[in-house]
Amino acid sequence: MDELSTSLSAELDVTVVLPALNEVGHIRAEVDRITESLKESQYSFEIIVVDDGSTDGTAGAVDGLPFVRVLRFPVNRGAGTARRIGTMAAHGRWVVWTDADMTYPNERIPELVGILETGRAHQVVGARLNEEGTAKMARVPAKWAIRRIAEYLTRTRIPDLNSGLRAFSRELARPFLGLLPAGFSCVTTITLAFLANGLVVEYVPIDYRKRAGRSHFHPVTDAYRYVLQVVRMVTFFEPLRVFGPLAITLLLVGALKLGVDFFVHGLRIPTNTLLVLLTGLILFSFGLLADLIVRTSRGS
């Protein structure tokens, strides 16, 4: 597939990957905005629009525009798949992920890339100062709770875990592309992958505008996937952060119950006490084994 070959094209500075699903009403305006901001910068660039199975002619609205390459999916494969394929097809040293719904200040893309060029960060994320998404009353507390879980598991402050605007090194991201899920939680995944591997993620405050068009976010199912992906990713990179606290809690509870049982039942230990203690030991053993496998595979 020609779009996925990078060997035949000269390397550019920046590739903007723009997934789009039925965004015909504003995709041209978004592409024009990104194009103008990068033309005014010192960076060479391209914009990869990934038409994720649109049925409204989204691809046709931007096909043939200067600096634009269009990748078409015949069916909807999810935002994560679109970003992964777009990143694999990128010719730029720096890859920028953003959305095509007019919510993000894409005119600031050169600013994010400039921070990467200084070398002080490996990924730069636009941290939203406000929430303008659908089902706002449900999304805000859910995102806060998920972010706090991620902060605990990664031992890092994360102002915005799932912002759709970010820039990062293509080469540093390449080993993590296979971990990206098909849905919206791909942005969470790339953040956690960098943090769990000791890479620096910097956050730049941005305004977040009201969405143009119809949202494809499902509050219940996508929130569940976010939580699952956070735990999955940290278990993948730092398993003891997941297994350790659970195991220690069970062992402490079992030890306290064992002390109580000793005074109540004498030398007879109830079955439920043994089960709690054994479960704690098994979880701790799983955590140690998983940690050993992770560190061996990483050569550390």
- Coil, strand or helix: which one is 222? helix
In this prediction, residues 86-98 reach a mean pLDDT of 96
**130 and 263 share a domain?**
no
Q: Which two tokens stand for residue 99?
A: 């959305």
pLDDT of residue 33: 95
CB of 91 closer than 8 Å to CB of 69: no
CB of 13 closer than 8 Å to CB of 20: no
- Is the pLDDT reported for residue 279 higher than 90? yes
CB of 200 closer than 8 Å to CB of 121: yes
pTM (global) more than 0.85: no
Count of domains forming the chain = 2
DSSP state of 8: T
Range of the domain at 248: 240-297
**27 and 50 share a domain?**
yes
pLDDT in tens, 134-176: 555 556 676 777 788 788 878 889 999 889 999 999 999 999 9
Burial of 137 (0-12, 13-18, 19+ CB in 10 A): exposed
Stretch among 64-73, 81-90, 261-270 having the lowest mean pLDDT = 261-270
Q: How confident is the model at residue 2 (pLDDT cuts 50, 70, 90)?
A: very low
CB of 6 closer than 8 Å to CB of 89: yes
- Is the pLDDT reported for residue 239 higher than 60? yes
In this prediction, residues 247-270 reach a mean pLDDT of 86
**230 and 248 share a domain?**
no
- E strand residue ranges, 105-237: 123-128, 166-169, 201-206
Burial of 65 (0-12, 13-18, 19+ CB in 10 A): middle
pLDDT in tens, 175-190: 999 888 887 678 888 9
**120 and 233 share a domain?**
yes
